[in-house]
Structure 1
Amino acid sequence: MSPPLADQMPLSRQQVLELLGGSDDDWLFSRARLATELAFGDQVFMRGIVEFSNHCRNDCHYCGLRSANREVVRYRLSHNQILEAADQVASFGMGTLVLQSGDDTKFRCDDITQLIHQINAKHKLAITLSLGDRSLEELKAWREAGADRYLLKMETFNRRLFAESRPKANFDERLDRLKGIQALGYQTGCGIITDLPGMTDEILAQDIIELTRLKLDMIACGPFVAHPQTPMALSGNGCVLKSHRVSAILRLMNPGANIPATSSLEALEPGARALALLRGCNVVMPSFTPQHVFSKYDIYPGKNAAKAFLRERLEVIRNQIKQHGLEPSSARGDSRSH
């Protein structure tokens, strides 16, 4: 029997602003933890992510994989390498496989469709896709093939900041695509970067409200981490505490959504990802990207930077979860939003 679900807490824009400013962290974090427990018990859902290509046609000014960055050592995994990584995800007891790449159209619709069919034929894994802004025809084909979830992040809902951060993207088209993904029946995810250069608490509060209005199944938020090979290289890193406040507020306003504790937290402050599990988050996504290209998925410094091998990395994450009185879960971990 599923745990009872916490009621959505309607917070006004002014209340969100005050909480972002640290007006009552003790209340915020304790209420977020309670809401998470009511929705998901003590479970922390483990998702195995396979980052199968770092090629990207976009030129986002915050991302190390941007198309204009000539210092990146690019890679694409072969079809068989992706399937082997999926086998590992299943063998290590993950409930979900996340297939992620840059916005790389070299992988065509049929390529991804075939992967989905082969993975579903062999494993009982939920399949999440995070492949960038693809056509509705492709998205429909992948849903019909058996993909369960799709993540398409906006990073911000502020039009000016979006244009400055994502110069090749169209705000309205991307938002429409997100709504199209929902209409196709995917469990749908979106997300933001906290402390993105130029972001204010007023913008961030509005981002939280816009995310909540979308009635999402997955919501990602993580702090900005400056990458030296981007136009935002000299900007200051985001605040871990601010990111924790955002995940806690999002939990209160979206009690049934899956909210991951992101690796960007760990990149800025060791232990911050595990602490986020006490502040509204309920998912962790360790990388199963093969070791020979593991460090090349370099969207920000500290991403996939661990020198340890997969088994050791997983052991560390599981121990951190247990030390907080929580339980690593191999369940599919579907959203309880609807």
Structure 2
Amino acid sequence: MKIQTKAEVLEILRMPYEEFNLNIKIKAKETHINHNNNTIVVTALLGYDNICKNQCTYCGMRAGNSGLKRYRMGIEDIKKAEESVKKLGLRRIFLISGEDPKYDFKDIITMVEYGKKLGLFVSLAAGEFSLEKYKALETAGLDEYVLKFETSDQDTFAKIKPSTTFENRMRCIEYIKNSTMSLASGNIIGLPHHTLEHVADDIMLMKKLDISWAPIIPYMPVPNTPLAKEGGRGSLETTIKEIAILRMMMPNVNITAQQPGEDVKNGLADVQGNLNALSSGANMLFVDMLPQNLVKDFNVIDNRMIEGIDNVDRLVKMSGMNRS
């Protein structure tokens, strides 16, 4: 089954969930089996800095959140974390931070180069940079840059990301696309006031950008953020449908399987939420490398929670899939 047009995407998004489960979801899983040997990609996750200059209205790490304990890991601690990833037998690391203007860019280059020296596939998300800095990251050997567009609706983008513009975000994405680095990008599913039309437009943009990884999750309100006053969590059903659609549209793309379930207190560590995503075509699980005393402070979303390698092994066994 091929999905190529917005009309076809919308047909699935509007489909009764029971019909989706019996038809589309099964085909999406078959696509992953046929194209990727039913493999789960395991990635170490290191949120090395939670300081951010931006005022994104949905994010718990926004500059205006005065109640958050801020931290900035030093380069030597980051190197040790990268070494720990290697010792765990993992081959991928995702380095992520707030958009911290005081974090030395030379240290970002160093952490990328050190990860590559260890033989790791290195992904980085540190916000919007100049063309010159993206070129420096490319020269350092960075494999993948992660820059979500969050929403393809420009009015919504302006509302939720007042510290930048949609034009600048897409300009940065274009810089990445014109480099040897892969682009990871995607949307926030179910933002307040959004419709299935918006979701379909987001999916079509991901296809157009030919992304390497879709780091997608539903909107999860964070207390004391402006957007939390406007609506609750994004639809879990729409999230699962988007995962299935993306798998069938882009068979080899990586898709985040760390998804919430019905109980919001479980955050992204919800076992059923993770298994449901895996059975719909998602394939990427994470191992949090932050020290335990810092985990709660890297809170882009409420109840983020990602567990360790033992949890990944348990999910691999429960899902009947293969670990990369």
Q: Name the counterpart of 1:229.
A: 224
| Equivalent position to 2:60, from 64, 85, 89 | 64
The aligned counterpart of 2:196 is 201
Q: Is 1:221–1:246's contact at 8 Å kept on the other side of the alignment?
A: no
Q: CA deviation at 1:287?
A: 1.3
1:250-265 equivalences in 2 (<5 Å) = 250-264=246-260
Question: In the TM superposition, what is the alpha-carbon distance from 1:322 to its structure 2 partner?
Answer: 1.5
1:327 corresponds to: 322
Aligned partner of 1:186 in structure 2 is: 181
**Correspondence 1:230-245 to 2 at 5 A:** 230-234=225-229, 235-245=231-241
For residue 4 of structure 2, the aligned residue among 7, 11, 17 is: 11
Superposition CA RMSD, Å: 1.6
- Matched letter for residue 83 of structure 2: D
Taking only the aligned residue pairs, the percentage that are identical comes to 27
TM-score by length of 1: 0.89
CA distance in 1 between counterparts of 2:287 and 2:102 reads: 25
Aligned to 2:286: 285
Return the letter of the residue paired with 1:153: K
Mapped contact 1:50–1:288 kept (Cα < 8 A): yes
- For 2:109, the equivalent position in structure 1 comes to 113
Letter in 1 for 2:283: N
- Residue 249 of structure 1 is matched in structure 2 by 245
Deviation per CA, 1:2-50: give whole Å up to 9, x if none: xxxxxx8233222211211234312111111011112210210100010
The number of residue pairs the alignment matches comes to: 315
Taking the aligned partners of 2:291 and 2:182, their CA distance within structure 1 comes to 27
So what's the TM-score if we normalise by structure 2? 0.93
Displacement after TM superposition at 1:264 (Å): 4.7
Corresponding residue SS for 2:203: helix
The alpha carbon displacement at 1:314 in A equals 1.8
Where 1:316 maps in the other structure, the secondary structure is helix
Structure 2 unaligned regions, length at least 5:
none
Q: Within 1, Cα distance between the matches of 2:304 and 2:115?
A: 26
Report the more deviating stretch, 108-117 or 195-204: 108-117
CA distance in 1, matches of 2:224, 2:83: 34
CA contact (8 A) 1:221 1:262 kept: no
The residue matched to 1:296 in structure 2 has which SS? coil
Q: Which amino acid aligns with 2:174?
A: K
**Residue-by-residue CA offset, 1:68-98 (whole Å, 9 max, x unaligned):** 1111111111111111111111111211011
Answer whether contact 2:186 2:202 (CA < 8 A) is retained. Answer: no
* Structure 1 residue runs without a partner (length 5+): 1-7, 330-338
Amino acid at match of 1:36: H
> Is the contact made by 1:194 and 1:224 (CA closer than 8 Å) also made in structure 2?
yes
Displacement of 1:154: 0.8
What CA distance in whole angstroms lies between the structure 1 residues aligned with 2:198 and 2:259?
A: 23
Query: Mapping of 1:1-338 within 5 angstroms?
Result: 9-23=2-16, 24-25=19-20, 26-121=22-117, 123-234=118-229, 235-264=231-260, 267=267, 269-304=270-305, 313-329=308-324
- Specify the SS of the correspondent of 1:293: helix
CA distance in 1, matches of 2:172, 2:184: 12
- The secondary structure found in structure 1 opposite 2:188 is strand
- Partners of 1:247 and 1:211 in 2: how far apart? 12
